[in-house]
Structure 1
Amino acid sequence: MGWHAGLFGKGGSCFVGHSEGGIVEIVHPTNLPVDTALPVQGLVCKLLAGSGEWAGVSVEQSKTSQRLIILGGGPGGYEAAIVAAQLGAEVTIVERAGMGGSAVLTDVVPSKTLIATADAMRRVSGAGSFGVTVEGKADASADLPVVNARLMELAHSQSRDIRIGLERAGVRVVLGEGRLLDNRTIAVARNDGGEETLEADAILLALGAHPRELPTAKPDGERIFNWTQVYNLKELPEHLIVVGSGVTGAEFASAYSLLGSRVTLVSSRERVLPGEDADAAAVLEEAFEANGLEVAAKSRAQAVDRTADGVKVTLNDGRVLEGSHCLVAVGGIPNTAGIGLEEAGIEMNDSGHIQVDGVSRTTAPNVYAAGDCTGVFALASVAAMQGRIAIAHLMGDGVRPLKTHEVSANIFTSPEIATVGVTEAQVNEDKYQGDIIKLDLATNARAKMMNVKEGFVKIIARRGSGTVIGGVVVAPRASELIYPIALAVQNRLHVDDMAQTFTVYPSLSGSVSEAARRLHKHL
C-alpha cells in the first residue's frame, strides 16, 4: 500500500498516485535545477535531465535492497539484470538456452552477421565500378558452411561475453526452465537435472517469442526452414522461396539474393514491407528487381510441400512455385503459454502477449515484463529499454516511461531502411499536422563517391511549430544515420536545430542537415 509513482507531468508538476486509487498533483517551481529531489508524501519527485518532466520514485523502495528474479536471458533480461545489480539488487536470471536468448543465439546476431556477409559480397561484386580488379576467380562466391560457422561462433562468443559480464556484476545465472507458482515465486527445472524454488520481491519476465508456423508449411530443417534453422544449410540455396514479406522475410530475401541465390519473395500485399514508408518500400523493390529478386505480390502461400529434390509452394491464386528451399517468415508467437502466467494473475491479450504499461508493469503486483512477449515492438533495442525502465521503476530510480513514437527501428536490407516517429501515412490520414521534405541521396557527394545510387532522407516537422516529429532514412548504414533524427524527435528539437548543426563534408549525414534546411522554407 502507500504512495507510488503514477503518472508524469509537464510544466513543473509531478503526478503521484496512491495504491488505493487516489491521484494527487504536487506543483513545484519550474526553475529548479535538474535532478533536484523534493520529498512528497514519502516520495521523491525528480526533474529528469533534458526532458522537463518530473518522475516520482518511492523513498522506501530506493532504500530497500530488492530480490529480483528475471525469467529469460535475452536483451530485456540481461540488460535489466546488469542495471539491477548496479543499483544494489540481489539478482537471479533464469535462461533455458544461453545468455542473450534467441536474439543472440538464433535471431538478431546471426541474421545480422549473415546480412553483413552479404554486404561484403555486394562490395566485392561491385568493385569494378570503382576501377578495382579482383585477381583470381572471375566472380565472388560464398562458402556457406564457412559463413554459417563464423556467424554461429560469433553468436556463441557474444553469449559467453554476456554471461561473464553478468557474473562479474554479481548476478546469479541459472540455466533451466522456469515456471511461475505465484507473483513472487518461480520453480526451476535446471538443465543439469536439479530442481529449485526461487522467491523474490519482484519478477521480470523476458520470455521472448518463437517463429509462427503455418499448418500447411511445417519446417523440417532440411528444405523448409524457419529463421532459426537456416544456419544449418550446407550449401547456398539454388532457388530460395521466402514466404512472408515483412521485416524478417525482406531481410533474408535481400541477404540470400546478394549471396548469389535466386530468390522469390511471396507477398500477400501489393508491395513488400506493407507496414513501412511507401517511398522506402518502393526503393527496396527497385533494388530487389535490379538484383534479380522476384516478388510474387498479392499472393498467399496455401501450402509448402517437399518434392524429390526441392520444394513446391502453392499460392492462393493457383500458381505453383518450385524451388530448392523455402524459408517461412510469417511472424512470431510469444513464449507465454504453459508457464503459470494465469496462476500469477498476469493478463494477456488475444495474441498471447503480456499486457504492460509504460513502465513495464504487468497486471500482477511485483511482476514486470519486457521484450517480444509484450508485443510492444519486436526489437532487441526496445526489449532492452523496457527491461531498464522496469528496473528503474522497481528500484526507485528516476524513470521515464517508454514512448513508442520515439522508438527508432531499422530494416537490414540492402539498402537499409530506418524510421522513427510519425509517418507520412499518418500525416496524409490527418492524424498529425505535418510538413514533409524528402531529399534523395543522388546529389550527396559522399554517396557519389560510394557509388550509392538509391536512397533518401525524409524529415517530418509539426506544422506551425517546426518541431521534428518523424523521419525516414534509406541508405547504407541507415541504422546509424537515423540517430540524429531520433534525438530530435525525443528532445522535441526544432527543424532549425538540425539545419544549423555542423556536419562533416563529405558525409551521408550531410543530407540530414540539408533536408532540415530545405524543410525550413516550408515552415
Structure 2
Amino acid sequence: MPKHHSKKVTASYDFVVIGSGPAGEGAAMMLAKRGQKVAIVEANPRLGGNCTHRGTIPSKALRHSVNRLIEYNASPLFKKDQVPRRLSFKEILHHSETVIRKQVNLRSSFYVRNDVSVIHGSASFLDKNHLQVKKHDGSIECIQMKNVVIATGSRPYRPADVDFAHPRIYDSDTVLTLQHDPRSIIIVGAGVIGCEYASIFRGLGVKVDLVNNRERLLSFLDSEFSDAISYHLRNNGVIIRHGEEYKTIEGRDDGVILTTTSGKRMYADCLLFANGRSGNIERLNIEAIGLEANHRGQLEVDPNYRTNVDNVYAVGDIIGYPSLASAAYDQGRIAATAMLEGTCETKLISDIPTGIYTIPEISSVGATEEQLTADNVPYEVGRAQFKHLARAQIADSDVGSLKLIFHRDTLEILGIHCFGERASEIIHIGQAIMEQKNGGNNINYFINTTFNYPTMAEAYRVAALNGMNRLAPKN
C-alpha cells in the first residue's frame, strides 16, 4: 500500500515519465496514443533532454559545420582564393543553436498534439505512487500516478580530483559554453565522445592531445577501422597518447597542465574531460521506493524494462548499455507496451548499428573479424574503396571504404563496417539485408540488385563482387 502523504495531490495520471529525451519521448508517445493519461516531467526549461541540448544534436551539428569548412578549404573550386577560411568554436556554435531550437519546437509539438501534460521541474519520489516536483519558481507540486518511467539519462562522469569549476576545464556538456578560441586542447578520454571532439577541434586548426587509457582507439570496432580512424586523426595532426592515465590536472590562469602517471607533462589552453558517463539518479530519491543504483548511477531492469518495483520502469542511458539515442527511443516504446500488456514480444534488435561522427565518420553493425576468428566461424571479406566509386570522385570524398563480412558457406552477411563520409547512412542498406537472413537474403542480393549510378550505395555491389571473387574452391 502506498504511504500516506499530507501533501495535497494536484493532479493524477495513469503514467508519469521522468525525462523528455528519446527514451522518455518514446514511452510517452506510445502511452498517449494508446489512450492513457500521461504527464512528462522535465528538469530543464526546454524539452528534448541531454540528447537535444548537450549531446547528440549539438555535437553532430558542430561536426557538420567543421566538415563543411574542411571541404571548402580542400575544394579545388575555391583554391584560387588562396587564403583558407577559418571559423572559431563560438562561430560554429551558432549553427548548433539553430538546430536545437528547431528540435525543441518540433518535440514540443508532439506533446501538444498527443495531449501529454508537460511539467517542468525536478522530480523526486515520495513513494511509488507519488512524485514531488520542485518547479523553477520554487513552488512544489505533488502528483499521483499508477505507473512511472524513469528516463533521466546521463551526464559526463566527473572525478572528484578534477576542478570542473575552473574556467579552462570542461566536460562534454560545458564545452558547449566555451567562449574563447583555444589554440590547443587536451582531451582526456578517447572513446566515442573524445574522438568526435578531437576531430571537431582539429578541423578548426586547434592543436589536440588525445589521452587514451587503452592501447588502441575505439577497441570495440573491427581493428581495421580502429586503425583507420587512428591513422586519419594522426595524419591530420592529432597527437594520440595510448595507455596513459592522468595523475593530476592543474588549471592555471592561462591554461591547463596535465601530468600522466608515466611522468609526462602536457600543456594546453584548455582541457576537455570525456571519460565516461554517470546516470542522473541523485535527485530522484529512489531510496523512498526501495531502488538502488550501481556505482555509475544506473538501474537494473528485466527484459521488459521493469525495475524491482512493480510499477516503476527505466529506459535509456539510466540503465546503461547500449546508451544510444536510437535504441533509447525503441526502449521507451517497448516499455510502454509492456506496461499496458504485461509483456512486450518486440525486443531491441540484436545487431544495433553504431554511428561514430568523427571526421571521417564510422559506422558498423554485426560481428568484427576478431570476434568471428575467435569463434571459429568460416568467413570471407569483401571490400570497396570509396576512391574507386564515381559518386565519391564527383563529391571529392574519396577517403573511406566499405567492408562486408560473410559466411563462406551460407553467404549470410555477418558484419558490415564502413568508414568515410555518410558512413552512418550507408550502413543501413546492408543492415536491412542482414536482418532478412531468415527470408533468404545474403550477399548475392547486392550482386543481383541494380543500384542507381553514380551512388555511394554502389559500394555494396563492388564489395560483394570483391568478396565472392575471394572464395576459394570447396574441393
TM-score where L is the length of structure 1: 0.82
Q: Is the 8 A contact 2:316 2:328 kept in 1?
A: yes
Query: Distance in 1 between the 2:147 and 2:114 partners?
Result: 19
What amino acid is the match of 1:102?
Answer: N
2:310 aligned with 1:362, yes or no? no
Q: 1:122 is matched with which residue: 63, 66, 70?
A: 70
Q: 2:270 is matched with which residue: 325, 334, 344?
A: 325
Instruction: Name the residue aligned to 1:503.
Output: 451
2:93 aligned with 1:145, yes or no? no
Question: Structure 1 residue 85: deviation in Å?
Answer: 1.1
Q: Please state whether the residue corresponding to 1:413 is helix, strand or coil.
A: coil
Question: Structure 1 residue 267: deviation in Å?
Answer: 1.2
What amino acid is the match of 1:89?
Answer: Q
Bigger shift: 307-316 or 89-98? 307-316
Q: Identity over aligned residues, as a percent?
A: 27
Q: Please state whether the residue corresponding to 2:230 is helix, strand or coil.
A: helix
What amino acid is the match of 2:15?
Answer: L
- For residues 222-277 of structure 1, give each alpha carbon's deviation from its aligned partner in whole angstroms, at most 9, with x where no partner exists: 21100111122223210011111100000000011001211111112222222222
2:311 aligned with 1:371, yes or no? no
Q: Please state whether the residue corresponding to 2:350 is helix, strand or coil.
A: helix
**How is 1:92-131 mapped onto 2 (pairs within 5 angstroms)?**
92-97=39-44, 98-128=46-76, 131=77
Instruction: Name the residue aligned to 2:35.
Output: 88
Question: Structure 1 residue 71: deviation in Å?
Answer: 0.6
Q: Is the 8 A contact 2:26 2:331 kept in 1?
A: no
Question: Structure 1 residue 185: deviation in Å?
Answer: 2.7
Bigger shift: 483-492 or 288-297? 483-492
Query: Distance in 2 between the 1:221 and 1:505 partners?
Result: 53
Query: Distance in 2 between the 1:288 and 1:112 partners?
Result: 18
Question: Structure 1 residue 463: deviation in Å?
Answer: 4.9
Instruction: Name the residue aligned to 2:236.
Output: 291
Query: Distance in 2 between the 1:254 and 1:282 partners?
Result: 15
Q: Please state whether the residue corresponding to 1:482 is helix, strand or coil.
A: helix
- For residues 483-513 of structure 1, give each alpha carbon's deviation from its aligned partner in whole angstroms, at most 9, with x where no partner exists: 1122123332322223323221111111123
Instruction: Name the residue aligned to 2:464.
Output: 516
Instruction: Name the residue aligned to 2:3.
Output: none
Q: Where is the helix percentage greater, Structure 1 or Structure 2?
A: 2
Question: Structure 1 residue 384: deviation in Å?
Answer: 0.8
**How is 1:14-163 mapped onto 2 (pairs within 5 angstroms)?**
67-97=14-44, 98-128=46-76, 131-133=77-79, 135=81, 138-163=83-108
Q: Unmatched 5+ residue regions in structure 2?
A: 1-12
Q: Is the 8 A contact 1:246 1:330 kept in 2?
A: yes
Bigger shift: 178-187 or 329-338? 178-187
Query: Distance in 2 between the 1:399 and 1:464 partners?
Result: 35
Q: Please state whether the residue corresponding to 1:343 is helix, strand or coil.
A: helix
Q: Is the 8 A contact 1:358 1:403 kept in 2?
A: no
Q: Is the 8 A contact 1:175 1:191 kept in 2?
A: yes
Q: Is the 8 A contact 2:209 2:238 kept in 1?
A: yes
- For residues 143-186 of structure 1, give each alpha carbon's deviation from its aligned partner in whole angstroms, at most 9, with x where no partner exists: 43332233224323422321222122100000011112333332
TM-score where L is the length of structure 2: 0.90
Q: 2:151 is matched with which residue: 182, 206, 212?
A: 206
Instruction: Name the residue aligned to 1:472.
Output: 417
Q: 1:395 is matched with which residue: 317, 328, 340?
A: 340
Query: Distance in 2 between the 1:400 and 1:293 partners?
Result: 46
Q: Please state whether the residue corresponding to 2:121 is helix, strand or coil.
A: strand
Query: Distance in 2 between the 1:121 and 1:310 partners?
Result: 27
- For residues 86-133 of structure 1, give each alpha carbon's deviation from its aligned partner in whole angstroms, at most 9, with x where no partner exists: 1211110001002111111111111111111110111111013xx434
Q: Is the 8 A contact 2:166 2:251 kept in 1?
A: no
Q: Is the 8 A contact 2:131 2:144 kept in 1?
A: yes
Q: How many residues align?
A: 455
Question: Structure 1 residue 316: deviation in Å?
Answer: 1.4
Q: Please state whether the residue corresponding to 2:148 is helix, strand or coil.
A: strand
Query: Distance in 2 between the 1:220 and 1:347 partners?
Result: 29
Change (3 A) 1:455 1:368: same
Instruction: Name the residue aligned to 1:422.
Output: 367
Question: Structure 1 residue 291: deviation in Å?
Answer: 1.4
Query: Distance in 1 between the 2:413 and 2:53 partners?
Result: 37
Question: Structure 1 residue 460: deviation in Å?
Answer: 2.4
Question: Structure 1 residue 198: deviation in Å?
Answer: 2.1
Q: Is the 8 A contact 1:468 1:489 kept in 2?
A: yes
Bigger shift: 456-465 or 239-248? 456-465
**How is 1:343-354 mapped onto 2 (pairs within 5 angstroms)?**
343-346=288-291, 348-354=293-299
Cα root mean square deviation, aligned: 2.2
Q: Unmatched 5+ residue regions in structure 1?
A: 1-65
Q: Is the 8 A contact 1:183 1:345 kept in 2?
A: no
